[in-house]
Amino acid sequence: MLPQEIIRAKRDGRPLSDEEITQFVAGMTDGTITEGQVAALGMAVYFQGMTGRESAALTLAMARSGAMLSWDVDGPVLDKHSSGGVGDLVSLALGPMVAACGGYVPMVSGRGLGHTGGTLDKLESIPGYRTMPGREEFRRAVLGAGVAIIGQTDDLAPADRIFYAVRDVTATVESIPLITASILSKKLAAGLHGLVMDIKAGCGAFMPTFEQAEALARSIVSVAAGAGLPTVALITSMDEPLAPCAGNAVEVREAVRYLTCAARDPRLHAVTMALGGRMLTLGGLAGDEAAARAMLERALDSGAAAERFSRMVAALGGPVDFIEACDRYLPRARTTLPVLATRGGRLAAWDTRALGLAVVELGGGRTAAGQGVDHSVGLTDIARTGQCVRAKDVLAVVHAASPAMAEAVRDRVLAAAVIDPMSEEGAPQDPVSVVLGCCE
């Protein structure tokens, strides 16, 4: 069937057959289907949706569009993936933590999508770090460090890489079938034994409501189970940045602080431990959540997790002393500018999506496919919701390439802060909401 007829069928709401989906994905991979046609199908799916069968067929077709890895190792092959948020650096910390506990973590990640940050963009702020190694280099890094975080290699789920880039710049990111297929195609191709999903809900997530997040979680768990990949999904809050920073180099710096126990933001720590606990129990490395959390804490406190991160960076071309000297290697923005509260009260909320878009405006994200990013820019010292602030207290610090850009973004960040004139401090919210098991 002609590609335009497949697009027309989905545009008009007709479910696509497995053959049509497989044919379209094959055309994406071999270049016979154009970027415009990929964008058109993405928009049609965005508005018309897909059945569970269609979503599973798309997932498997994209996973099989390249190599399918397998592992001969002495421990479980595990991974964690987030549906996207602001200040979400969990992957940088959690992969090494699980590796230090006996797991193997071949993490295939993506770049920023829309207003959310991308793990690959963050890692590329490390000089020399190769996010796109060959398959054998990837394998050696996983076996040597226990963890390797990379992007899709040329032969690993190539159809997803093509679709992913187009979705980012055509406003078709927030589609449950496309998110499901994008995430799981990479994970199935990576040869996992178990997957833990972090599904974000809130104003900074692609799924802003709990109901949308739950629908995405159930879609991923269902499709993964059908493909033979045991999966657990947690729904966590993205009503404020997960870490007190957002950007590329600034988040890597925060991850190093977390791994070396120099600083542990409570909100970031709660989500990291919840996800890590599920990974260890899913992989049979711990008998229950309490035992898993104790193992993860030991991995942090002993320095074993930091050492695994260091080995990963070195194995993929980065500095061998990165953990000890990260400030020497990570780029810094030319200009910093504090965002000061204009009145006192309680910081009731952040427009978290606006904060993510502020980082994009600074150059830390993309507005066109294939565009480069400025790894040095971003936001730090982001105040936590619920805390009391006084006039002229720092709500965040802007890191920008120029004073003019810093001032423009400062106004956007200030507009994103909701300050309640009430002076009472609010109780912190539990950022972990719900767990969905692979049998649900």
Residues serving a catalytic function are 79-82, 119, 167, 182, 186-187
Which residues on neighbouring strands pair with residue 198, listed in sequence order? 82, 234
Helix (H, G, I), strand (E, B) or coil at 220: helix
Distance, CA of 285 to CA of 281 (rounded, Å) = 6
Distance, CA of 41 to CA of 287 (rounded, Å) = 45
Number of Cβ within a 10 Å radius of residue 71: 16
> Which amino acid would we find at residue 353?
R
Counted residue by residue, the chain has a size of: 440
Q: Tell me how far the alpha carbon of residue 79 is from its chain's centroid.
A: 12
Distance, CA of 50 to CA of 81 (rounded, Å) = 22
Distance, CA of 184 to CA of 63 (rounded, Å) = 8
Q: Are 402 and 199 in contact (CB under 8 A)?
A: no
Q: Is 81 exposed, middle or buried (0-12, 13-18, 19+ CB in 10 A)?
A: buried
Which residues on neighbouring strands pair with residue 207, listed in sequence order? none
> CA nearest 118: which of 77, 164, 58?
164
Q: Are 179 and 206 in contact (CB under 8 A)?
A: yes
Which two structure tokens, joined as six digits, stand for 75? 């421990």
Helices within 84-151 (DSSP H only): 90-100, 119-123, 135-145
> Which amino acid would we find at residue 403?
P
Helix (H, G, I), strand (E, B) or coil at 7: helix
In the chain, the N- to C-terminal Cα span, in Å, equals 36
Distance, CA of 276 to CA of 350 (rounded, Å) = 27
Which residues, including other chains, have CB under 8 Å from residue 223's CB and lie 6 or more apart? 52, 55, 56, 59, 180, 181, 184
Strands of 164-211, DSSP E: 194-201
CA distances from 18 to 85, 221, 309 (A): 32, 20, 41
Which residues on neighbouring strands pair with residue 194, listed in sequence order? 78
